[in-house]
Structure 1
Amino acid sequence: MSDNTMLTIPARRGKAHAVKKGQIVKVINTHGDQVVDTWAFNADDLGEFMSMEHSRAHILKIIPVVGDTMLTNQRRPILTFVEDTSGGIHDTIVAACDRYRYAFLGVEGYHDNCTDNLHAAMHELGLEAPETPSPLNLFMNIPVKPDRTISFEAPVSTPGSYVALRAEMDLVIAFSACPQDILPINGVGHPPTEAHFTVGK
């Protein structure tokens, strides 16, 4: 595969890819309203991974901006925001959805979820994620209100807008096109859709 080949994160599913240090991962919100849960693991040690808790303490904010570097659970740089045309609203607070979350929301039976999508995507590469870290929720709009409450709102991103991330180590990046269709995080009345990404220079 050549650099910058467009790859699909299928609607309601996950996708993972190997990335070399210095490469740019461009995550495209193809239809404008799709949240993309994002994880990154050290390619040489999957027990080291991008950590929202460690990153927030480093960047001193809850929403990263261009120039900010996300850290691992060993406090090493792993991904740096180099471009963002999406409106700059992302989330570092909320955990990946899972079967327990959908049961809490009243779903009976199985519902696609980002936790399972992460592990399925890693399995496609023959890898096993040691846990489900809290994700970088690209394009997800979770405002913190003056009374310190949060809410789940529609993305502000637009069709074709994107975030570009530079790899600061050899890593495996994993995505989930979030299948949430109960709360409006993928847009009011909009079903989850596919998103796309490229890996290149």
Structure 2
Amino acid sequence: MNKQVGALQPALELIPARSGVAARVKRGQSVRVVNTHGKQVVDTWAFSAADIDEHLSMEHSRAAILKLMPAVGDTLVSNRRNPMLTVVDDTTPGIHDMLIAACDEHRYRQLGAHGHHDSCTDNLKAALAALGIAVPLTPSPLNLFMNVPVRADGSLAFEAPVSEPGQHIALRAEMDLIIVFSACPQDMVPVNAMHPTDAHYQIA
């Protein structure tokens, strides 16, 4: 769906259910990620347009903001500790995840899947391949809208997102970058309320 939002607004671009997309973003541009139907996790990566070896890093970002999830005003950084994305707006309850690795074939096999199962790791590779880019490893993603509560005893849980249809988060690019989104296909734990759906994004 390339749906026009107002006469002067850039189009909303589709992140197909269970699939990934990549786009180039200039420094200073804002990327708005819309949880179109609610309850959908969007795994998010960013890579420097000048050097693909520099990427958005959750471990370095946690050290930079001293938080387990980002909020408006927080700047996430690269594996070289350079600013990459700043949260400039968030209409959700603010629940996102910076801890959990992207799903992959090994994860689904452990969960009991047989044969091929779509994964965020494969979606990252396919989205970058469409731009003629390959990366040797899968960085840990910023899992937008993902609900992984940390309990008092330090344990984690997978729960359905608390975001509602149409809620969004907006991120400002602090360098020229390539951003990648995966509408997470997880349907074996309640990450996406057991029902993966489309999401959308907008670059302005």
TM-score, length basis structure 2: 0.95
User: Per-residue deviation at 1:86?
Assistant: 1.2
Determine helix, strand or coil for the equivalent of 2:155.
coil
Alpha carbons of structure 1 residues 131 and 3: separation in structure 2 relative to 1, 3 Å: farther
Residue matched to 1:144:
150
Equivalent residue for 2:94, pick from 88, 97, 100: 88
Residue matched to 2:53:
47
CA–CA distance in 2 between the matches of 1:128 and 1:20?
20
Residue matched to 1:8:
14
Deviations 1:133-172 (A, max 9, x none): 0000000000000010000000010000000000000000
Equivalent residue for 1:125, pick from 131, 140, 144: 131
Write the letter of the residue equivalent to 2:69.
I
Write the letter of the residue equivalent to 1:25.
V
Determine helix, strand or coil for the equivalent of 1:93.
coil
Q: Give the number of equivalent residue pairs.
A: 198
- What pairs with 1:17-32 in structure 2 (closer than 5 Å)? 17-32=23-38
Equivalent residue for 2:175, pick from 169, 174, 181: 169
Residue matched to 1:192:
196
Residue matched to 2:120:
114
User: Per-residue deviation at 1:127?
Assistant: 1.2
Q: Where does structure 1 lack aligned partners over 5 or more consecutive residues?
A: none
Alpha carbons of structure 1 residues 191 and 6: separation in structure 2 relative to 1, 3 Å: same
Query: 8 Å contact 1:47–1:130 — kept in the other structure?
Result: no
Deviations 1:37-70 (A, max 9, x none): 0000000100000000000000000111000000
CA–CA distance in 2 between the matches of 1:12 and 1:75?
31
> CA-atom RMSD, angstroms?
1.2
Query: 8 Å contact 1:41–1:172 — kept in the other structure?
Result: yes
Write the letter of the residue equivalent to 1:90.
H
